[in-house]
Every structure is written in C-alpha cells, then in structure tokens.
Structure 1
Amino acid sequence: MNRRNALKNIGLSLGYAAVAPSALSILQSCTSEIEVWTPKLLTVDQGFVLKNIIDLILPKTEASPGALEVNVPEFIDLLAFKSYNKKDQTKFIKEIDTFILELAPNKSDDFSISDIKTETYDALLAKYLKSKPETRKSFNKNESIVFNGLKSIRSKAVWAFKNSELVGEKVLAYNPVPGPDKGCVDLQNTTKGKAWSLQR
C-alpha cells in the first residue's frame, strides 16, 4: 500500500477511528510563521476563502486559540496536496469553487475575493451547517456540493485543531507522562471537564 492510500485509510476518511501518525506529522509541519500563505494545492483565492470559513468555524476566544493560529487551513491544503488522489483533489477544488460561486454569485469584472464580507461567509455557514434534514432533501446539485464540502471541512478542521501541538498541550488536559489508566473517574475532578489531549 502506498503512502497516499495509507493516509486515507488510517483515519483520514474522517471517521478518524485511529490517529494516523503520518497525518499528525503533516499537521505538525504546518507551523509556518510566514505572513502570506501560498497554498500547495489551492489557488491563493481558494486558500483565502478556506481560511475565512475555518476562522468562523473555529474562531479565537479568550480561553483558546483560533484555528488560524495553529495553521488548520494550511494543514487541510497540505493534506489534500500530499495524500489525496487526483479525483479527490479535483473534488476538493470544485467544492471551494462552488463556495465562491455561492458567496459571490454576481461577480463584476473588477471583483476581488477580499470583497466578500464576513456576514456573507456567516450566512453561508448558517444556511448549510444549520440546515434541517428536510431542507437538505431539496438542495440542488450545487447546494449539495456546498453542504457536503462545508461538512467535510468542518470535520477536518476540528480534528486538526484538537490534534495540534498548541491545543493539545495548552487547551486540552495534557499529561506528558501518563500514569495508570483509570476508567471510571469524574472528568470534572480529574481534568476540570477538559477532554484528554492526544499529544505525546
């Protein structure tokens, strides 16, 4: 089995039943401090849209960093570039392009991707990620692409965020040298309600 198939099969199909060490190594490699990010697979405009969507899904709060601070968009682009086959790469790119069509349906000749307002991104996420099952049944082809694409990005973003080094060590309950496994304990008493980090 080649590396690409191994990455897809070991948790990256978004079941994440197991944590792929290769995926974690990709995630930890996304620690660039470069101010202007140049995506590996996506265009600059597509990457800009991806960043804005992910920033709204996992924003910075007083209690935790945001997804942008742990390079989640960079991870998703790099993951698609390194581990997706051509068919899946094409599908991912089409999803982003369909987001753009929905965000800016009446683009003028002098349109810039930065013209899209935060409120427009918010409306997109609310329309699809808060939609009811009966509403989804009436989605047309493009709407279905947007819904499935946003759902996939949200799932990848949450997984990457929770498995990033910063979040694993500073936000979640972290013990670099774990002791005995205690199965039935009160989470409030042991970690103050925080989930355990997967960082090692």
Structure 2
Amino acid sequence: MDRRDALARVALLMGGTVIGADFFLSGCSSPGKPAAAADAPVAATGPLLDVDQIRLLDEVGDTILPTTAASPGAKAAHIGRFMNVMVRDCYTPADQNIFMDGMTKLSEAANKQYSKSFLACTPAERTAFLTALDKEQKAYTANKKADDPAHYFRMMKELTLLGYFTSEVGATQALRYLPVPGRYDGNVPYKKGDKAWATS
C-alpha cells in the first residue's frame, strides 16, 4: 500500500481530509526543509519533541486507540515517535506551532480538571477527558471558516489513526494483511465483525 492509499483510507475513517495532506503526498518535506529518509532514526535528523512530549503523545494515542483482546494499542506502534517525525517533516511552521501549543493546552486542561497531569490520570479519566476534547474539536471544525487554523486535537487524532493503521502492528494485527496479495476478488465473503483489509 503506498502513501496515497494509506492517507485516503485514514481520511475515510475520519470522514474528512487529513491536515497536512499536501505535504504527506509530496514526500513529507515542509518548505525549506530537506525530506528525511523514512527509516531514519528520529535522533539522527533532530527531534522536534523531547522524550516527555513523545511519552505524552504515546499515552494520548493509546487512549484514542487502546489495547484490546484482539489487537495492541497505538503505543505499541510508537505513535509518539511517528507524530514527532510527521509534525517536524510534514506540517507547515504554522501547523507545527498549533500542534506544539496544543500539547501545552492539553496538559494544562488536564491539570485544571483533575489537579494532576494527563499521565497521572487513570485510564477512565483520560478517556473522559479526550472524549470531551474530541467533541470540542468536532464543533470547532464544523463551524470554522476555510482560513481558520485546525484544532490541535484533530491533528493528534488524525496522526494517531494514520500512524497506527499504516504501522506493522496496526496493519497485521488490527487489520487483515496479505504481504503478497493474489488476484483481485471483488466478492470476498464478509461476516459482521470481520477485520478490514490492510492490503487490497
């Protein structure tokens, strides 16, 4: 599956477009920045986020897509490191600022609501907190004008879905995967509850 297919599938899952899609499709290089190799370690090209910020994003992602009996959660796909690379290499400077400010806003809001950090919250508190934040971003997105900035939590949610379902963990354990697909079959039997295909 190529980058364009992956992006289209994630956009379909979210019912909209993915922020920064133009950069994703053109090789993930913000204006004035060289594109990093896909398999390059984060530290080799200069991380945008520090270890604590990546840990926070791992836990946010794992709250959005938690571990279940059938598949591991987003943290197993190292979603924080993925977000670091994507925000650094694929977002415009303006969107990078929204994302970075958003992490601060998220942490401050969790502290205000629970008198402790997001990382110190229980799984139930994290879920309730992010559910309310998701409602906020949906209302904002539905009413925003074309030139208004994106909501930071929408960015986090999009990157969680994109990173997870295009990772090895997501593609092979959360979805059904054939490394070498055979002939096209447009009439494969499907039972309710079957996993979607990672390959086509």
Short-chain TM bin:
0.5 to 0.7
| Alignment partners' CA distance in 2, 1:194 and 1:177 | 18
**TM-score with structure 1 setting the length:** 0.64
Q: Which residue of 2 aligns with 1:165?
A: 168
Instruction: Classify 1:165/1:182 alpha carbon distance in 2 versus 1 (closer, same or farther; 3 Å).
Output: same
Extract unaligned runs of 5+ from structure 2. 9-16, 29-36, 144-148
- Considering only aligned residues, what root-mean-square deviation do their CA atoms show, in Å? 4.3
| Alignment partners' CA distance in 2, 1:153 and 1:57 | 9
Instruction: Give the drift of 1:136.
Output: 5.5
Q: What percent of counterpart residues are identical?
A: 23
Q: Which residue of 1 aligns with 2:69?
A: 62
Instruction: Give the drift of 1:171.
Output: 3.6
- Aligned pair count reads 171
Instruction: Give the drift of 1:83.
Output: 2.3
**Aligned letter for 2:18?**
L
Q: Which residue of 2 aligns with 1:176?
A: 179
Q: How does 1:123-138 map to 2 (within 5 A)?
A: 123-130=128-135
Structure 2 residue 57 is matched with structure 1 residue 53: no
Extract unaligned runs of 5+ from structure 1. 1-6, 33-38, 140-144
Post-superposition Cα deviations, 1:48-105, rounded to whole Å, max 9, x if no partner, equal: 3222211111111221011111111110111112222322211110111111121113
Larger Rg: 1
| Alignment partners' CA distance in 1, 2:188 and 2:67 | 30
Q: How does 1:1-200 map to 2 (within 5 A)?
A: 11=7, 14=18, 20=25, 22=27, 26=38, 40-105=47-112, 114-130=119-135, 148-188=151-191, 193-198=194-199
**Aligned letter for 1:153?**
M
